[in-house]
Structure 1
Amino acid sequence: MSDRPFWADEEYVARKPLRVPGGIQINSTRGAVARTWWSARFIAVLEELGVGGRLTRGRSYARSGQIVSLDVDAGSAVALVQGTRPAPYKARIGLRVWDKEQWGRAEQALADDAFYAATLLAGGMPTEIVEMLDGLGLSLFPDASGELSMDCNCPDATVPCKHLAAVFYLLAERFDADPFELFALRGRDRETLLSNLRERRGGVAAESDEPAAPPASVPPLSEVLNRFYDAAPSGATPPRPPVTSPDAVLDQVPEIPARVRGSTVTDLLRPAYRQLAADE
């Protein structure tokens, strides 16, 4: 068997990929795909691998809707990507899942400062979270030379191929819309993570049927009404508000049970909300 790549054979003729009716495509039509710093950080892993033209072709695949399906679960993202052959290729991106002890440390640190959870719920991700996790010996983002694995059953021997690159770009756009998807790859879906954070903050008791009694150190409201508008004590640090994404309101309304070319209506509306905020 020859070691020459299939595209180096004289009889090989480049062909356009087969169209995919209703294929999943990214919303970005030109320029950079990532709109947030965390998605850009994820794409940077792909760029560090230096695969040249495959990045461009992978971006083209993602924009033209060549991805048939994408399933994201703990530790992996598996997609079917349509190429030039009748059967789509299976592309998989794997990431090491944090174990129970590692997740325990991460969840406790997130619970100790409600700012992190509040920002995530608002559709953002504070840059401080990277330093916080690094301090725990954990990295939210994969290392291109270490814990990241990739494979595709296409004939291209180079990794990542254009099919894997297309999946990277689609994942990056999903991370733009919901940063919790990054944690899902590490082993915690949105609902489980939020439930664990509430429990660590004592939220289980607070959500019971009986209203919680105020702490003994809190004076009755009637005794402090006359001081409500007084200035804060000198040196007091005001609470920091969460960073709110322009499209955060879309996460507060019920999802419309319809899909357009494989994307939800909510995801299709996000770029418009962000553009409106950018134009202000």
Structure 2
Amino acid sequence: MPEQWKFEARGPIRVTGGIKARSKRGTIAQTWWSQRFIEVLESFGMGGRLQRGKNYARSGQVLNMTLSTSVVVGLVQGSRQEPYRARIGIKAFSSQQWAHIERELAGQALYAAKLLAGEMPTDLEEVFAELGLELFPSTMRELTMDCTCPDWEIPCKHLAATCYLLAESFDEDPFQILAWRGRRREELLDRLRALRGTQQVTPEETSEEAPLSDHLHDFWTSPSPAGTPESATSGTPALDELEPLPLKVNGTAVTDLLRPAYRAFTR
């Protein structure tokens, strides 16, 4: 047996200060989106390698993990002195695809409200699917994995450990999933706010955002007409909008005599 494999058989070098999974037993992922990610990974037939990776994640063998557009990099301590670098890559959506996604999300009040509140809508995947996109990878071909360890099989336990901690990071911040796909939280929310600010509100959105029960007190009152002149709302009588009337009473213009009455009506 080659010397490197004898060395590997000794087991990982234990470290302190590594990133430890919060879950000590059972399922690591807690939210539907992180569970969805793990389900996808397990469907690829990783089996025992995922279990060994889970043990690595729980014992703190991952020293560091960073996520950026399209790639996650984990620094994992194995049996050698130098930690292994595990990389998990996914294709980011293009700017044009994100523009379609953002318009679709902004056009539906419920999705926009949840995202702006920091929540992940339970059926968010359906929005992507309607646009011909997949939020989570469905095949191994959609993921690029590599590790500097001598194990030639992909994924190795170092990659699996990184995957589990990645799932936990999705628990803490679901926007990490979208950032991995190419859109940071701040950028996405700014785009949604801008789009929501310029879009016309539909009756369906009004019913979601303002239920009838909230307006029982003014249900039978007439709505304010659109385009009400500023002078009318500020208390100035509408007669100011007309040409001056050529009538006077005891030397006082009729419009000035009517003004107090108009103001009283406005109040």
Query: Which of residues 181, 184, 195 is equivalent to 1:189?
Result: 184
Paired with 2:83 and 2:215, the residues of 1 have a C-alpha distance of 70
Pairing of 1:185-264 with structure 2 (within 5 A): 185-202=180-197, 227-228=216-217
Paired with 1:33 and 1:89, the residues of 2 have a C-alpha distance of 23
Per the alignment, in what secondary structure is the counterpart of residue 73 of structure 2? Answer: strand
Paired with 1:177 and 1:98, the residues of 2 have a C-alpha distance of 23
User: Is 1:115 paired with 2:143?
Assistant: no
Pairing of 1:152-171 with structure 2 (within 5 A): 152-171=147-166
Paired with 1:19 and 1:122, the residues of 2 have a C-alpha distance of 40
Q: Offset at 1:57?
A: 0.9
Paired with 1:123 and 1:26, the residues of 2 have a C-alpha distance of 23
User: What's the counterpart of residue 41 of structure 1?
Assistant: 36
Alignment-mate amino acid for residue 108 of structure 1: R
Paired with 1:24 and 1:155, the residues of 2 have a C-alpha distance of 23
Alignment-mate amino acid for residue 93 of structure 2: W
User: Is 1:135 paired with 2:126?
Assistant: no
Pairing of 1:57-72 with structure 2 (within 5 A): 57-72=52-67
Superposition TM-score, scaled by structure 1 size: 0.67
Contact 1:120 1:179 in 2 (8 A): no
Contact 2:115 2:189 in 1 (8 A): no
Q: Offset at 1:88?
A: 0.4
User: Is 1:149 paired with 2:144?
Assistant: yes
The answer to which structure, 1 or 2, has the higher relative contact order (CA under 8 A, 6+ apart) is 1
Alignment-mate amino acid for residue 81 of structure 1: V
The 1:200/1:230 distance shift into structure 2, 3 A limit, reads closer
User: What's the counterpart of residue 27 of structure 2?
Assistant: 32
Q: Offset at 1:126?
A: 2.0
Q: Offset at 1:146?
A: 2.6
Paired with 2:184 and 2:9, the residues of 1 have a C-alpha distance of 41
Per the alignment, in what secondary structure is the counterpart of residue 33 of structure 2? Answer: helix
Paired with 1:28 and 1:229, the residues of 2 have a C-alpha distance of 51
Q: Give me the identity figure in percent.
A: 53
Contact 1:46 1:165 in 2 (8 A): no
Contact 1:22 1:65 in 2 (8 A): yes
Contact 2:7 2:79 in 1 (8 A): no
Contact 1:15 1:84 in 2 (8 A): yes
After the TM superposition, which of the residue ranges 143-152 and 165-174 deviates more from structure 2?
Answer: 143-152
Which consecutive residues of structure 1, in runs of 5 or more, have no partner in the other structure? 204-224, 232-280
Which consecutive residues of structure 2, in runs of 5 or more, have no partner in the other structure? 199-213, 221-267
User: What's the counterpart of residue 81 of structure 2?
Assistant: 86
After the TM superposition, which of the residue ranges 144-153 and 165-174 deviates more from structure 2?
Answer: 144-153
Contact 1:66 1:81 in 2 (8 A): yes
Superposition TM-score, scaled by structure 2 size: 0.71
Contact 1:123 1:177 in 2 (8 A): no
Per the alignment, in what secondary structure is the counterpart of residue 149 of structure 1? Answer: strand
Query: Which of residues 96, 109, 114 is equivalent to 2:91?
Result: 96
Higher helix share: 2
Count of aligned pairs? 205
Per the alignment, in what secondary structure is the counterpart of residue 201 of structure 1? Answer: helix
Displaced runs of 4 or more, over 6 A:
none
